[in-house]
Structure 1
């Protein structure tokens, strides 16, 4: 675990290498996760009021990404520093529009209502 005592930023787990990834907490207590995909590091910051240990895509509050071509992915300190510097650059995610149910999903919903009513 890596902690920056001045800001409260904590990385609880980091895996170095070509497929670097990890998770931790921001200075304000929100959880985050990061992963590399090709030559890009993607950071997802989750809502502060999570009720589960495993966040879903609906729980993403902000996202940031940057290239990793200028850092050593085999050095955990470089990865942690990049993530720490990337957190203030995260852009809030707008709420997804509710999707209309597909015809199959609508039929299954109706069947379920009929079965529940029996």
Structure 2
């Protein structure tokens, strides 16, 4: 019986399987070239604050403030990409957003970082829409001045 089994295995052809190994190159994940959203510093508590970088390399800062409309508000400022100083001022702000933190656990890093990530995405979309509106306004003002 062993001979019969060996003879049947001799005629069985198996497909050739090639194993391709992909080696991912080393990626430097420091904040200056991070391809993802990064929070460099995060302090938790009722007045949580911190800073980090967006996916496209722009810096942002955030802090929880007292507000007249809500108990507390998360204030996020996104700065220009071509900053020449390490400490930006009010002229470097490209977009900002204020969001209520009523549903955010200010003693949990994950909850704060998720709220900041969503606020930064909202601030970026506001900046994109505002820049598109400025281009339209500039074009309309040129047409108006040419007609006059």
What is the TM-score normalised by the length of structure 1? 0.71
- Answering whether residue 53 of structure 2 is matched by residue 25 of structure 1, we say yes
Given candidates 80, 84, 91, the residue that maps to 2:117 is 84
Runs of 4+ residues deviating >6 angstroms: none
Quick check: which one's strand share is greater? 1
Query: 1-side partners of 2:54 and 2:121: how far apart?
Result: 10
Residue 10 of structure 1 and its aligned partner are, at CA, apart by 0.2
Quote the residue 2:91 is aligned against: 58
Which protein has greater RCO, CA pairs closer than 8 Å, 6+ apart? 1
Higher helix share: 2
Unaligned 5+ residue runs, structure 1?
Answer: 95-118
**Runs (5+) with no aligned partner, structure 2:** 1-30, 67-71, 132-148
Distance in 1 (CA, whole Å) between partners of 2:94 and 2:85 is 15
- The equivalent of 1:47 in structure 2 is 80
Per-residue CA shift, 1:31-60, capped at 9, x if unaligned? 000001011000000000000000000000
CA RMSD across the alignment: 1.7
Secondary structure class of the residue paired with 1:54: coil
Q: Secondary structure at the match of 2:112?
A: helix
2:62 is the counterpart of 1:16 = no
Q: Tell me the matched-pair count.
A: 89
Q: How many angstroms apart in 1 are the aligned matches of 2:100 and 2:119?
A: 11
TM-score normalized by the length of structure 2: 0.57
How far off its partner does 1:65 sit? 1.3
Aligned-partner Cα distance in 1 for 2:94–2:118: 18
Q: Which has the larger radius of gyration?
A: 2
